Structure 1
Amino acid sequence: MDLQDQLKNLFPDHVPENLEDSVDQESDIWMQDDPIICKYEKRKGKPITILEGYTGATEDFKKLAKELKTALSVGGSFKDDKIIIQGDYRDKIMVILKDKGFNVKRVGG
């Protein structure tokens, strides 16, 4: 008798919900027509990548920032409607955003 059978014995009226529906989809982030601008700068001699130009909700942009930082295993922040990633990761960020369905424009360098 496995765990599912034991739970059915304890709660016979319970109807399990589909696990596929409860998983967060990446499509909950609002897609825009205008491209997100990806540019490179040096601040205090250290390289950073800046993403700006997202016109959706601030919370969606914060989620996107967290996903990028996690995927790249780097530090960064979200300030003044801009995502700041530590290091020069323009190429990798552009690939990740294009896979998600965003239009990305590379500026500078």
Structure 2
Amino acid sequence: MAKDTFSDITGLPDDLGIEDDLARSNQRASIRVDTRRYGKPVTIVAGLDLPADELASLASTLKSQLAVGGTVSDDGAIELQGEHGARLEAALRDEGFDVEL
């Protein structure tokens, strides 16, 4: 039996590009604030199962929207300088992710 595609699930044609939206909405991003050296807060977004290039692109988008610095860690988490609870949650929702605080 062939693997189900999103068009089989939704009944919509593949060329609409709904796969990306469905894949993002099925993922739950976890946001937490950690403290680093000298007591500086770092907001960490974890739990996203994205390819490295998409994760880097999302990190770049979030950094631009929040006007902060940050990076993608080796374990696949996005680290943003500072504490950005509600603004980050709204930005992730705008990108199509479900958010868990």
RMSD: 1.8
Question: Which residue identity lines up with residue 36 of structure 2 in the other structure?
Answer: R
How far did 1:32 drift? 4.8
Superposition TM-score, scaled by structure 1 size: 0.67
Report the Cα distance in structure 1 between the residues aligned to 2:77 and 2:97, rounded to whole angstroms: 16
How many residue pairs get aligned? The number is: 80
Report the Cα distance in structure 1 between the residues aligned to 2:64 and 2:20, rounded to whole angstroms: 18
Q: Alignment identity in percent?
A: 31
Q: Show structure 1 runs of 4+ deviating over 4 A.
A: 27-30
Between Structure 1 and Structure 2, which shows a larger proportion of helix residues? 2
Report the Cα distance in structure 2 between the residues aligned to 1:68 and 1:34, rounded to whole angstroms: 17
Picking from 47, 71, 79, the partner of 1:84 is: 79
Structure with higher Rg: it is 1
Superposition TM-score, scaled by structure 2 size: 0.72
Structure 2 residues without counterparts, runs of 5 or longer = 1-18
Q: For 1:88-107, what aligned pairs fall within 5 Å after superposition?
A: 88-106=83-101
